Amino acid sequence: MNLFRNLWRPMDRPPNSSSIPVAHDGSTGTVPDRSSGSPQSQSPNPTQPRSSNHQRAVVSPYSPHSTQGPFQTRMFVSENFMLGAGVVIIQPSSGKVVVVQDGDRWFLPKGRKDLGESIEHAALREAYEESGYRCEFLPLYHWTNAPVESRLAYGQRHAEPLYVVMTSYLGRRNRPPGEYLTFWYVCQIGPDAVRELGTGMPDEAGYVSHLVTPEIAHQLLSEIERTVLAVAFNEWLRSVEVDENVRATDTQQRGERQE
């Protein structure tokens, strides 16, 4: 665990030269190396409520991990868009991630949602079909704009999408061109997880999944999926760190009360 903690930094900290390259907005960007020893800015505490935009004096810029906006509103009727889900599968016990191989092509599990299927169910189904692993969502502290019932819900782990990627696709014989929106989730498998065989569709029979370190996955994946993986791994490490800090604070406070 400490090995991977030293290799990745939370996504809200500025990059430096000793970092693993990832793409932020179509170009080559960086995720800083936590072992560099360079000064670190203080990360926002996810256990504290975040103020809404109308409460801020200055509107925050787009994250460096997003394509930079703002954008003009664009509209697509149903024949010109597809909805899908992708999954970053992390094994917390080993710090490894799941990548899928199809010949010389390497990728993260993803695919279109079925008719009447929720995006969340599609994510778990695609993860199982393409990787052979039965996974579950891995709640994290990452930022979400989803409304909550009360302010007490701020600062809690959640499993909302971490990324949305929109990709244009060309038309085919019976399908006009359009935009493919992929919602990316973070999932987990246990230390004793076993890959099942024959879980995919007929055209996915040759898929083979591998548990690898994030460094190896970075070398194998496409530029976009490298970015998704890096941010997901960052947020997992940050969530682990937050929980450890909370436990340490609680232990310290109990000790002080006993004194």
Q: Look up residue 168 and give its DSSP letter.
A: E
pTM, full prediction? 0.76
The pLDDT of residue 129 is above 90? yes
Residue 238 contacts residue 8 (beta carbons within 8 Å): no
CATH of region 2-17+77-258: 3.90.79.10
Q: How confident is the model at residue 11 (pLDDT cuts 50, 70, 90)?
A: very low
The pLDDT of residue 218 is above 60? yes
Q: Which of 244, 232, 223, 241 is nearest to 91 (CA)?
A: 232
Residues 6+ apart with CB under 8 A from 112: 82, 83, 84, 122
pLDDT tens digit sequence for 78-128: 999 999 999 999 999 999 999 999 999 999 999 999 999 999 999 999 999
pLDDT tens digit sequence for 19-78: 333 333 333 333 333 333 333 333 334 444 444 444 444 566 888 889 988 888 999 999
pLDDT tens digit sequence for 224-259: 999 999 999 999 999 999 999 989 988 888 887 877
**Backbone region of residue 104 per phi and psi (left: phi > 0; alpha: psi in -120 to 50; beta: other values):** alpha
Q: What is the pLDDT of residue 20?
A: 34
The pLDDT of residue 15 is above 80? no
The pLDDT of residue 182 is above 90? yes
Q: What is the pLDDT of residue 148?
A: 83
Q: How confident is the model at residue 153 (pLDDT cuts 50, 70, 90)?
A: low
Place of tokens 């004096």: 57
CA-CA-CA-CA dihedral for 223, 227, 229, 235, to nearest 10 = 170
Decide: helix, strand or coil at residue 87. Answer: strand
Q: What is the pLDDT of residue 39?
A: 33
Q: What is the pLDDT of residue 245?
A: 92
Cα–Cα dist 258/253, whole Å: 9
Overall average pLDDT of the 207-235 stretch: 97
Q: Where are the domains of the chain?
A: 2-17+77-258
Q: What is the pLDDT of residue 28?
A: 33
